[in-house]
Amino acid sequence: MVTVTAATELPAVRFVRPDAGHAVGSPAYRRIVGALMAGGLANFSLMYFVQPLLPMLAAHYGVSAAESSHALSITTLTIIAGLLVTGPLADRVGRVPVMRWSLLASGVLGLASAMAPDWTTLVVVRGLMGFTLAGLPAAALAYLREEVATGSHAKANAAYIAGTAMGGAAARLLPGPLATLGGWPLAATVVGLLTVAAGGLMAVLLPPSTGFTPGPVGLRQALLGTLAAPADRVVALLCVVGFAAMGAFVGVYNAVSFRLQAPPFELGASASLVYLAYPIGIASPLLARWLAARRGRGPIVAAGLALLAASVLLVSLPDLPAVVIGLALLGFAFLGVHSLLSGWVVDRARRRGRGTAQASSAYLGTYYLGSTLAGALATYLWQTGGWSGVAVMALVLTVLALAASRLADLSDRPAAVVEDAAPAAL
pLDDT average, residue stretch 198-212? 82
Nearest in space to 420 (alpha carbons), one of 164, 238, 246:
238
Q: How confident is the model at residue 191 (pLDDT cuts 50, 70, 90)?
A: very high
pLDDT for the residue 113: 93
As beta bridge partners, residue 288 has none
Q: CA 78, 83, 84: angle at the middle one, nearest 5? A: 105
Lowest mean pLDDT among 11-25, 207-221, 262-276, 401-415: 11-25
pLDDT average, residue stretch 212-228? 61
How big is the chain by its Cα radius of gyration, in Å? 20
Specify the pTM: 0.77
Tens-digit pLDDT profile for residues 63-76: 888 898 899 889 98
Tens-digit pLDDT profile for residues 85-114: 887 787 778 888 889 999 999 999 999 999
The architecture of the domain spanning 19-209+217-421 is: Up-down Bundle (1.20)
User: What are the extents of the domains in the chain?
Assistant: 19-209+217-421
State yes or no: cis peptide before 137, omega within 30 of 0.
no
Q: How confident is the model at residue 4 (pLDDT cuts 50, 70, 90)?
A: very low
Residues in Cβ contact with 156 at an 8 Å cutoff, skipping those fewer than 6 apart: 24, 29, 32, 33, 36, 144, 148
**C-alpha to C-alpha distance for 282 and 404, rounded to whole angstroms:** 25
Q: How confident is the model at residue 417 (pLDDT cuts 50, 70, 90)?
A: very low
